[in-house]
Amino acid sequence: YISKIFRSVDPFSLTKPYRVGDVIWGSHTQWLDSVTYTLDAIIAYQGKVYRKNNDFDAYVAGILPTTNQYFEYLYENETIYSHVGTLTTINDYDHNKTYEGGSDVVRYYFDYFTCIVNSYRNHPTIQNFWIPNDYSQGPGNPPQNIYSGWIKGDTRNPQLKTCLIDIALYHLHSRINPRNIPELRKERYDGNSPNQKGGAIGWLKNVAHGLVNADLPEIIDFQLPISWGSYEKQNNNF
């Protein structure tokens, strides 16, 4: 699940399908009045992103992207969007609930599963009872399309992102000049102490030992049911 916690943030692509949980970054080069843009070219203008949507013969360099005849507005530039889909009524998997095959859908960790056979205490990863459902959307749905399931903002865990940034900055400084790392970066990395009880490292250690809640979805350990017991004691005489 590490790859799902630390999802990469890639530039948005109109040709790529996306699934719930994907995060994209809208960052594109600015429009230039000296360039004759071709079909599907994506450019930024006054903080917004536009796509060249046709190749009419009358188009020439210098026509503004706000001209609807030649350009389509997609989303805001320099902005992060997260794909959340329209799954607002789907609940987390409950190990003590009976699910109906062919209709019930559950969310387990970062994934969704559809029940195919009536199930009680059968973990969503058991293929005889469940099938994964990516809830992916086809290509061509820009983030500000009201039906595409995107929201503005980053849905990744903010505390984990902060830790990752602090660790990365510390190591960058150590590579540039290991004898002159700023005190702030040392504090943010491990509390600047030999036992590493502070900063990002200290927080991660506390999470590993169960002392701090990382606010991540709970992974349910699946265990087969075990029956136990015995017959009544028998008195045997010989």
Q: pLDDT tens, position by position, for the chain (238 residues)?
A: 677 777 888 888 888 888 888 899 888 999 999 999 999 899 999 999 999 988 778 899 999 999 999 999 999 999 999 888 776 678 889 989 999 998 898 988 778 899 999 999 898 988 899 998 877 777 888 887 766 788 899 988 899 999 999 999 999 999 999 999 999 999 999 999 889 999 999 999 999 898 998 888 766 665 555 555 566 666 666 5
- b/e per residue, 201-235, with b = 16+ CB within 10 A? bbbbeebeeeeeeeeeeeeeeeeeeeeeeeeeeee
CB 96 within 8 A of CB 111: no
Give per-residue pLDDT as tens, 7-27. Answer: 888 888 888 888 888 899 888
What is the DSSP secondary structure assignment for residue 130, as one 8-state letter?
Answer: E
CB 100 within 8 A of CB 169: no
Structure tokens that stand for 38 in this block? 């071709």
Beta bridge partner(s), residue 71 = 52
**Taking the complete model, does pTM exceed 0.95, yes or no?**
no
Structure tokens that stand for 42 in this block? 């994506």
